[in-house]
């Protein structure tokens, strides 16, 4: 009990780890998740493992998971994203509350998506990040899609030749994960892990996962936008490496383990934070500036937890303070 309030005290904001420095993800299934002080406990037939919630980016909970109220409370207080997924992580059911307390990046994202010129600018920048050394500033979306399709096909062929794993085409049926080829199963599992980490960063920054620039119409459109920036370096080569092992079982588990290690080594969370802020700063720099004033400055994750930006919109182009009575002069 703290200050008369029952239960374990929440973590001190200064003890929380910045979004870009956290563990990418933890996938669990068939276990019970509880809270021990400010750590999560994961209990299964093998015993109990303690997980520091303040350093966890996203907890992916698969089939057979039971989680207590106090554990969910700790995840929320720690700014960690809780995600409920299907077996092997290839279905995405729901996620918990975002840790960000500010809507600045969300406003910048919504403004950019709603302006066709700004949206095209961001979409071109996303493709530019994939096409090294190419100028795409004059290309239409149709031309960009064509180049991207050809690039991905070359990637698949390259890694097929490198590993000796046969490649025909990308097939993914979420209803029948085990019916796919080994390399397609590995791709699905690896991409799912990447989506989870990217989604965690997006909600940690206060952005909307459904407001995509290249993808549209799905509640994770922006997740797919950002994840596509990293597949060539992460999930695609890892999937072919896993397929080359010719495992009889555990393809999804092996792909997730390798993705976890690769994302940690590549510091994908920090990269994700930098790239999202950098893309939005190109069109709305006044809303994306970090603590140093540089729009591309990553800022501090704990700052977003502490900021109280709540205000009232004013039609004269400014905002006014919230929590104040403006009734003077308007009494009956």
**Domains of the chain: residue spans and CATH:** 13-95 (3.100.10.20), 104-281 (1.20.120.920)
How far apart CA 309 and CA 312 sit, in angstroms, is 10
Q: Answer whether residue 63 shows pLDDT above 60.
A: yes
Phi-psi region of 36 (alpha: psi -120 to 50; beta: other; left: phi over 0): beta
Query: What percent of the chain has a predicted confidence (pLDDT) above 90?
Result: 41
pLDDT confidence bin for 299, thresholds 50/70/90: very low
Residue 323 pLDDT > 60: yes
To the question of whether residue 115 is assigned a binding role by annotation, the answer is: no
pLDDT-derived band of residue 210, with 50, 70 and 90 as boundaries?
Answer: very high
Is 80 exceeded by the pLDDT of residue 113? yes
Q: Taking 50 as the threshold, does the pLDDT of residue 59 lie above it? A: yes
Residue 67 — left, alpha, or beta (φ > 0 → left; ψ -120 to 50 → alpha)? beta
- The pLDDT, as a whole number, for residue 320 is 74
Annotated binding residue 286: no
* Residue 68, pLDDT above cutoff 80: yes
CB 196 within 8 A of CB 268: no
Task: Report the pLDDT value the prediction gives residue 236, as an integer from 0 to 100.
Answer: 96
Among 109, 116, 170, 115, CA closest to 141 = 116
The reply to whether 215 sits in an annotated binding site is yes
| pLDDT confidence bin for 117, thresholds 50/70/90 | very high
Mean of pLDDT values over 185-203:
88
> What average pLDDT score do residues 54-77 get?
86
Lowest mean pLDDT among 35-44, 62-71, 81-90, 126-135: 81-90
Residues 58, 81: Cα–Cα separation, whole Å: 5
Quick one: pLDDT at residue 161?
97
More confident residue, 269 or 166: 166
The tens digit of pLDDT for each residue in 145-179 reads: 999 999 999 999 999 999 999 998 887 666 666 67
What is the chain's length?
A: 332
Which of 62-66, 86-90, 146-150 shows the lowest mean pLDDT across its residues? 86-90
pLDDT at 213 over 90: yes
> What pLDDT, on the 0 to 100 scale, is given for residue 258?
94
**pLDDT the model gives residue 289:** 63
For 253, counting Cβ atoms within 10 Å of its Cβ (0-12 exposed, 13-18 middle, 19+ buried), the class is: middle
């Amino acid at each position: 009990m703290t200050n008369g309030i029952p239960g374990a005290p929440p973590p001190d904001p200064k003890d929380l780890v910045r979004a870009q420095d956290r563990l990418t993800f933890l996938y669990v299934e068939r276990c019970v998740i509880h809270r021990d002080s400010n750590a999560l406990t994961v209990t299964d037939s093998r015993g109990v493992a303690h997980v520091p919630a303040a350093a966890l980016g996203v907890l992916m909970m698969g089939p057979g998971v039971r989680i207590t109220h106090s554990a969910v409370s700790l995840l929320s207080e720690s700014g960690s994203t809780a995600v409920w997924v299907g077996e092997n992580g290839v279905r995405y059911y729901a996620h918990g509350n975002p840790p960000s307390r500010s809507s600045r990046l969300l406003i910048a994202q919504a403004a950019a998506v709603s302006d066709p010129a700004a949206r095209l600018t961001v979409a071109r920048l996303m493709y530019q990040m994939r096409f090294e050394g190419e100028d795409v500033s004059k290309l239409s979306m149709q031309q960009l899609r064509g180049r991207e399709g050809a690039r991905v096909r070359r990637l698949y062929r390259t890694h097929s030749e490198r590993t000796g794993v046969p490649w025909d085409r990308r097939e993914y049926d979420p209803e029948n994960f085990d019916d796919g080829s080994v390399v397609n199963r590995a791709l699905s599992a690896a991409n799912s892990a990447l989506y989870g980490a990217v989604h965690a960063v997006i909600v940690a920054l206060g952005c909307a996962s459904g407001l995509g620039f290249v993808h549209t119409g799905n509640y994770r459109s922006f997740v797919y936008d950002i994840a596509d920036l990293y597949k060539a370096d992460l999930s695609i080569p890892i999937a072919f490496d896993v397929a080359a092992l010719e495992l009889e079982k555990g393809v999804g588990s092996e792909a997730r383990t390798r993705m976890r290690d690769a994302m940690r080594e590549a510091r994908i969370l920090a990269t994700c934070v930098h790239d999202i802020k950098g893309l939005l700063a190109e069109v709305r720099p006044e809303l994306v500036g970090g603590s140093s004033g540089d729009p591309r400055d990553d800022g501090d994750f704990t700052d977003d937890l502490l900021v109280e930006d709540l205000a009232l919109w004013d039609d004269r182009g400014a905002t006014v303070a919230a929590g104040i009575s403006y009734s003077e002069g308007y009494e009956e």
